[in-house]
Chains A and B, each alone.
Chain A
Amino acid sequence: MAARVQLPKDIRRGQVISVQILVQHPMESGYRLDADNRKVPKNAIRSFTCRYNGEEIFRAEMSPGIAANPFLQFPTLARESGELEFSWVDDAGERGSHTAPIHVAA
Chain B
Amino acid sequence: MERRRFLEAAGGALAASLAPRPLLAQAPPAFAQSADSQALVKRATRGKEARVGKVKLDLPLLADNGNSVPMKVAVESPMTAADHVKTIRLLSERNPEWEMAAFHLGPYSGRAEITSRVRLAGSQRVVALAEMSDGSYWMGTADVTVTLSACVDGTG
Real binding pair = yes
Chain A contacts to B: CB under 8 angstroms = 16-18, 27, 29-31, 52, 55, 57-68, 70-77
CA distance A55 to B112 in the complex (A): 18
Which chain B positions have C-beta within 8 A of A77?
107-110
Q: Closest CB of chain B to A42's CB: distance in Å? A: 9
Is B113 close to A, CB under 8 A? yes
Which chain B positions have C-beta within 8 A of A62?
100-101
Number of interface residues of B (CB under 8 A): 31
CA distance A62 to B99 in the complex (A): 8
Is B30 close to A, CB under 8 A? no
Partner of A29, one of B92, B117, B119: B119
Which chain A positions have C-beta within 8 A of B6?
none
Contacts A70-B117, A73-B115, A77-B110 given: A60-B104 contact, CB under 8 Å? yes
Is B69 close to A, CB under 8 A? yes
Chain B contacts to A: CB under 8 angstroms = 67-69, 90, 92, 95-97, 99-121
6 A-B residue pairs with Cβ-Cβ distance under 8 Å, sorted by A, are A57-B109, A62-B101, A65-B100, A65-B101, A67-B69, A75-B105
Contacting pair A73 B109 (CB below 8 A): no
Contacting pair A66 B101 (CB below 8 A): yes
Contacting pair A75 B110 (CB below 8 A): yes
Contacting pair B108 A57 (CB below 8 A): yes
Contacting pair B97 A63 (CB below 8 A): yes
Which chain A positions have C-beta within 8 A of B119?
27, 29, 64-68
Which chain A positions have C-beta within 8 A of B103?
58-60, 74
Contacting pair B108 A76 (CB below 8 A): yes
Given contacts A55-B108, A62-B100, A65-B120, 14 further A-B contacts (CB under 8 A): A16-B110, A16-B111, A57-B109, A59-B103, A60-B104, A63-B100, A64-B97, A65-B99, A65-B119, A66-B119, A67-B69, A68-B119, A70-B116, A74-B103
Which chain B positions have C-beta within 8 A of A63?
95, 97, 99-101
Q: Which of B106, B107, B118, B119 has the most CB of A within 10 A?
A: B119
CA distance A64 to B96 in the complex (A): 9
Q: Closest CB of chain A to B97's CB: distance in Å? A: 4
Which chain B positions have C-beta within 8 A of A76?
108-110
Contacting pair B109 A61 (CB below 8 A): no
Partner of A65, one of B90, B107, B108, B110: B90
